[in-house]
With several copies, the nearest count.
Chain A
Amino acid sequence: MNLESLYQELILDHYKNPLHKGLVSPADASVHHVNPSCGDEVDLNLTIRDGEIQSVSWDGVGCSISQASTSVMSDLVQGRTVDEASQVIDAFMEVMQSKGSTTGDESLLGDAVAFAGVSKYPARIKCALLGWMAFKDALVQLGGYRAKDSGEAK
């Protein structure tokens, strides 16, 4: 089987032992996202203090990709400034849209580079993005997200 490159150990480890899973309340923003093509769901709580991500926590059901990706994301942005977190989101989105042509900048994306293989499977990109989109949405709600270019969230 050729699944090894998609399902890297790191991904499956996060799947088995997800980080920051279990909602921490109260939070500044709470969002609920669904992947309409499969029904997978994620709830995410976000708290920001002085322009820094103080806490991201989440809960949800989903496939290995969506669960692991949410786990990696939540660990990656913890403690970062809102601007840095926005940059990380943009970088991850770029990798996901790359159809396998880029693995992304490891210094920025850390463990999230392991998901580069997902971008070759269009139907799974939504899985990988579920938690990220929830996080971005929460950031936008708190007025925190800064898009890289025009200033308009897309």
Chain B
Amino acid sequence: MPLDVARIKKDFPILARTVRNEHPLVYLDSAATSQKPVAVMKAESDFYSQHNAAVHRGAHLLAEEATDAYEGAREAVARFIGAKSDEVIFTKSATESLNLLAYSWGNAPSNSRFHLAPGDVIVLSEAEHHANLIPWQELARRSGAILRWFGVDDEGRIDLSNIDSIIDSRTKIVAITHQSNVTGAITPLTSIVAAARSHNALIVLDACQSAPHFAIDVKELEVDFLAFSGHKMVGPTGIGILWGREELLAEMPPFLFGGSMVTAVTMEGASYAAPPKRFEAGVPNMAQAVGLHAAIDYLNAVGMGQIHEHEVALTEYALSGLSSIAGVGIVGPTEIKDRGGVLSFTVEGIHPHDVGQGLDDLGIAVRTGHHCAWPLMKRMGVVATTRASLYLYNEKSDVDALLLGIEKVQSFFGSKGIGR
């Protein structure tokens, strides 16, 4: 059954607004951040209007209710990814989730399995977002570990041909994206997981661009850690998720230090609580957790399977449309197999900034630039791209607007002797 996108759109007030020159908004920038349904805004303001109090801290009714709401959100996230509740840590963003790992492991004493010694290897890929790249560069710098990375092919797909020399006995960590935020390419996890497992390396998956778009089960993925952001999955800003295997979290040193993550404190030192509390210092982002719960309920009500199918169909449509415009080059896989609805492209002779400006003028919101994946851009031989990204609230008419928009941009600049 196809999604009733017209109905879904009604849940997202911003999609009813007009932008430049009274054009209706065509929002194609969900890979940067998604829009929010009324249910999410309402969940947050209901929390503030009815239950707001510091969780885990007070002995009064509001504190109990706030704690229930906050822990209920944790359970919802756990169910969403097939995990146990105590394995879910709330952070402010996927960026914090990934930094949490890098700092925690940097804090690990030498007898810990998380400790990195000089010469230990951290494996990444050339397709990483800066958030899953720079924290590891810095951990390597601090610990003396070495970075290695998978290259990508001309379509942006991770190249596994030299996997045996990349993941070897010195490899301690493999941190990799599930789906590229530039090319939409989905990572071939099975062989990477198998190789990492066989060398006992920890596997960190950046699920920012996958968890919002198709059903994920951490047990099936067989990874050790998973990071993603609420704001890319119709949830609020200011909340991220870190999932980790129970037995690993249990051994991990804390990252942020402060209230609610301790068992005892003196002026000289402190001892730390069990996960997830150990990793959630201070009064947490309670309203955002509650909003994320509402977002997950919303996605589940629509159905993650349905959303995925819808996006696959729309992406196919967009791929074929883009391919048929002369002068447009897709940066990423041109076939739907193992790719999501992130569509980067170039327009011959017209710089992405100028393309984006022209589309914006028509009410079409896309992103231009390097998409926080500078090494990947270099590898793909471009300085920047224009990127359109799809979500459950997009429909064929949005893609049509994009295609027509590109042609209009081409003819505008073409009439000035630029492009073709």
Asked whether any CB of A lies within 8 Å of a CB of B in the complex, the reply is: yes
- A2 and B354 form a contact (CB under 8 A): no
Known: A64-B418, A122-B67, A123-B63. A38 touches B384 (CB 8 A): yes
Across-interface contacts of A3 in B (CB, < 8 A):
357-358, 361, 412
| Tally of contacts, chain A with chain B, CB under 8 A | 81
- A56 vs B170: C-alpha distance in the bound complex, in angstroms? 51
Known: A1-B362, A1-B408, A39-B384. A62 touches B416 (CB 8 A): no
- A124 and B357 form a contact (CB under 8 A): yes
The total of chain A residues at the interface (CB under 8 A) is 27
From residue B267, how far is it (CB to closest CB) to chain A in Å?
15
- A34 and B263 form a contact (CB under 8 A): yes
Q: Is A28 an interface residue (CB 8 A)?
A: no
Across-interface contacts of B57 in A (CB, < 8 A):
37
B 23-61 binary contact with A (CB < 8 Å = 1; else 0): 000000000000000000000000000000000111100
- B353 and A39 form a contact (CB under 8 A): no
- B273 and A36 form a contact (CB under 8 A): yes
Q: Is B369 an interface residue (CB 8 A)?
A: yes
Partner of A38, one of B20, B64, B369: B369
Across-interface contacts of B263 in A (CB, < 8 A):
34, 36
- A50 vs B57: C-alpha distance in the bound complex, in angstroms? 43
Q: Is B21 an interface residue (CB 8 A)?
A: yes
- B361 and A39 form a contact (CB under 8 A): no
- A123 and B384 form a contact (CB under 8 A): no
A–B pairs, 17, beta carbons within 8 Å: A1-B358, A15-B418, A16-B417, A38-B384, A39-B370, A39-B377, A39-B384, A61-B383, A62-B351, A62-B383, A63-B351, A121-B59, A121-B64, A121-B357, A123-B58, A124-B59, A124-B357
9 closest residue pairs by CB, A with B: A63-B353, A63-B351, A38-B369, A39-B370, A123-B59, A36-B263, A12-B416, A39-B383, A38-B384
